[in-house]
Structure 1
Amino acid sequence: MTVSTLPPLPRLLLEPIVRNALLEDLGLAGDITSNAVIPADHRSVVVMAAREPGVIAGLDAAELAFQLVDTAIVMNRNVMDGATVEPGDIIATIEGPSRGLLTAERTALNFLGHLSGIASVTARIVAAIAGSKASVACTRKTTPGLRAMEKYAVRAGGGMNHRFALYDAVLIKDNHIAVSGSVRHAIRRAKTGVGHLVKIEVEVDTLAQLQEAMEEGVDAVLLDNMTPEQLREAVHFVAGRAITEASGRINPQTAPAIAASGVDLISIGWLTHSAPVLDIGLDFKSQG
């Protein structure tokens, strides 16, 4: 097993999320099926295996689901988060009381499949723009309550994270500009309203807005729904004075041309809000 260079999320952050998911499943009576059907002293060995190709993310959450149900359950990993798997590859072997294995199974697979799906689609975009200078970034379009985990999954797939929330950076979007009256007014107000360590990015739809933003001075510009030709012109105009970010209807087919425009970042909301689950199964290997 190789050692992952991807820093894990703290257990302190993961545990409340996983615990709440288990509580949602267990309700007020617990796993009445397993408790009725499976003897209390029955033990099993199971494996989690990939049923389609992809990139793994979420092993800590999956393991925590089993451990919170029964501390006697032990999970041994064959791969680490960020690893590429093929159909049939064994991801982990888990052994312990059969009741606990069955009780935690769905919660563990829900987290692992969802997060691995995000990592997998991120890796597809990263591969599609290989050779360009652009990086792939996620957005705040995340599942409520799962943002830290989903953004972690983007990192597992080779992407990077945009701001995590409303508090860690200024992003002036079209509606802010509409209320403020202009790009210029919005930027000036932002600069007087935040501290010197806070970065400011502004979304622009046209090259005229971009010129206004650069005259005021910002750290980054979000070039929204521009064609590759417009992006190329925008990158030339910015000339390294700010980070350039392309956004809007980007997919594996359109990403290469967008990256070739010379932008620094490609931000994609569907990485987290619409990624399909990676099919991972749990199979019993021995029982006793």
Structure 2
Amino acid sequence: MATTNYENLQCLLPPSWKTSIAEWLREDTPSFDYGGYVVGDSDEVAILYGKSKGKLAGVPFFNEIFDQCGCRVEWLLKEGDEFDPATTEKKRYEVARVYGKARSLLLGERVALNTISRCSGIATRATKLANLKEKHQWQGVVAGTRKTTPGFRLVEKYGMLVGGVDTHRVDLSSMIMLKDNHIWSQGSITAATKQAKKVGGFALKVEVECRTEAEAEEAISAGADIVMLDNFKPDDLKATAKRLKEKFSNRSVLIEASGGISEDNIVDYFDDSVDVISLGSLSHGVPIIDFSLKIQPRNYKI
């Protein structure tokens, strides 16, 4: 199995990502930094501790937050490394050190912790799902959805990549997905699919959300590249997917399963006829990984 160079994932980030971080910092300190006045400008070192078991994700964001605050980060773990505080004497795992002025460390602290905690939480859940796929030797794709936090999607999708799953479509411009409201507007799956094909051209795939086998057949016949079997029970899903693959064996259509699928039951949906399983729970309601940032006593030794 090929390994991922997690450190190269930063190359995926668009030019706007650093501007987004500047906005996060502006939101957190819109006027006077009263706490910064209290702690002053002394040179200090703070340690980033991991306090719950998980996978580290979000290093570029953490670095940029502190860079914009005039601080320097020295990592003791790498992006994608797993850690467990229970293995340490103090039940907290030293992940990184941050050097800078006291007020600057505190300017970046909460924004950085919020970001890395959420990103690492998503990567940790994604890793569990990727491991289940590997354990059961399923050859399909585990993917996230667009159920992400407004303004924070880039971080959440990045966390999925660190965790080893697919991001699915990142936004409305990435792929054309026709759901019930799109179909309603045109009166039929066929009409909606033809409209989508007109504007999407050869470059964009068209996916259609289907509630029945008959709808899936109509979507494939109309030219859909992917059909999503939505809210099917595992046995019904497998049987339907198999029949569709056999009936349209001359088409390279992908079958996606979605709706009601979680870490607890995803194994029930694994099948050779199913190409993609997408889960909103990869970004929706994911527990964070707990981190803290502690400025060290003046006599702290590196």
Between the aligned partners of 2:223 and 2:238, the Cα distance in structure 1 is 20
User: Which one of the candidate residues 160, 166, 175 is aligned to 1:160?
Assistant: 166
Alpha-carbon deviations, 1:172-204, whole Å to 9, x = none? 112212222222222222222321211111111
Report what 2:89 is aligned to.
none
User: Residue 146 of structure 2 aligns to a residue in which SS?
Assistant: coil
Counterpart amino acid of residue 51 in structure 2: R
User: Residue 115 of structure 1 aligns to a residue in which SS?
Assistant: helix
Following superposition, the deviation at residue 232 of structure 1 comes to: 1.0
Report what 1:29 is aligned to.
32
CA change 1:52–1:262 in 2 (3 A) is: farther
Report what 1:119 is aligned to.
123
Between the aligned partners of 1:98 and 1:81, the Cα distance in structure 2 is 26
User: Which one of the candidate residues 3, 7, 14 is aligned to 2:17?
Assistant: 14
Between the aligned partners of 2:123 and 2:160, the Cα distance in structure 1 is 5
Alpha-carbon deviations, 1:211-262, whole Å to 9, x = none? 1122223211111101111221232123263111111121111100112364
Q: Is the Cα–Cα contact under 8 Å of residues 49 and 292 in structure 2 kept in the other structure?
A: yes
Q: Is the Cα–Cα contact under 8 Å of residues 74 and 95 in structure 1 kept in the other structure?
A: yes
Number of residue pairs aligned between Structure 1 and Structure 2? 282
Report what 1:4 is aligned to.
6
Following superposition, the deviation at residue 103 of structure 1 comes to: 1.8
Between the aligned partners of 1:210 and 1:55, the Cα distance in structure 2 is 38
Q: Is the Cα–Cα contact under 8 Å of residues 126 and 135 in structure 1 kept in the other structure?
A: no
Alignment RMSD, CA only?
2.0
Q: Which runs of 5+ in 2 are unaligned?
A: 86-91
Counterpart amino acid of residue 252 in structure 1: E
Following superposition, the deviation at residue 3 of structure 1 comes to: 6.2
How is 1:199-278 mapped onto 2 (pairs within 5 angstroms)?
199-239=205-245, 241-260=252-271, 262-278=273-289
Alpha-carbon deviations, 1:35-82, whole Å to 9, x = none? 12x242x22222112111111111111121111112xx2111122222
The TM-score, its normalising length taken from structure 1, stands at 0.91
User: Which one of the candidate residues 122, 138, 141 is aligned to 1:135?
Assistant: 141
Report what 1:169 is aligned to.
175
Between the aligned partners of 2:241 and 2:94, the Cα distance in structure 1 is 45
User: Residue 100 of structure 2 aligns to a residue in which SS?
Assistant: strand
Q: Which runs of 5+ in 1 are unaligned?
A: none
User: Residue 286 of structure 2 aligns to a residue in which SS?
Assistant: coil
Out of 189-198 and 166-175, give the one that drifted further.
189-198
Following superposition, the deviation at residue 90 of structure 1 comes to: 2.1
User: Residue 139 of structure 2 aligns to a residue in which SS?
Assistant: coil
The TM-score, its normalising length taken from structure 2, stands at 0.87
How is 1:14-163 mapped onto 2 (pairs within 5 angstroms)?
14-30=17-33, 32-36=34-38, 38-40=39-41, 42-70=42-70, 73-87=71-85, 88-130=92-134, 131-163=137-169
Counterpart amino acid of residue 109 in structure 1: L
CA change 1:204–1:78 in 2 (3 A) is: same
